Amino acid sequence: MGILTVLAAPFFEEVLFRGVLFAGLRDSLGPWTAGLASSMLFALLHSDPQALLVLTVLGGIFAALYHKTGSLWPAILAHSLWNGATVAAMVLLMANR
């Protein structure tokens, strides 16, 4: 499950939310509005009300990385690092129970 969370999910989520949704909206809405829209949808689809703000901000950071570099790879890497840190924190918390 950890491998899917750290490797597969970031790849597919970045392709969908930044590569398809953000890129598709950017020309008509501009980068700020497209980034906000794709980030909010990204956060909402994670179905975690407590993390809504954090996930929206992260989605915005990932969109900015994609927009600035023109490549999805920096966003995928940042997303993987975030998910990896989250998984590591969860494992540590469970081990210390």
Hey, is 35 helix, strand or coil?
helix
Chain center to CA of 79: 5
- Read off the pTM: 0.93
**Cα–Cα distance, 63 to 34 (Å, whole number):** 9
**Cα–Cα distance, 82 to 90 (Å, whole number):** 12
CB 59 within 8 A of CB 38: yes
- Higher confidence at residue 97 or residue 26? 26
pLDDT tens sequence across 30-65: 999 999 999 999 999 999 999 999 999 999 999 999
pLDDT tens sequence across 20-29: 999 999 999 9
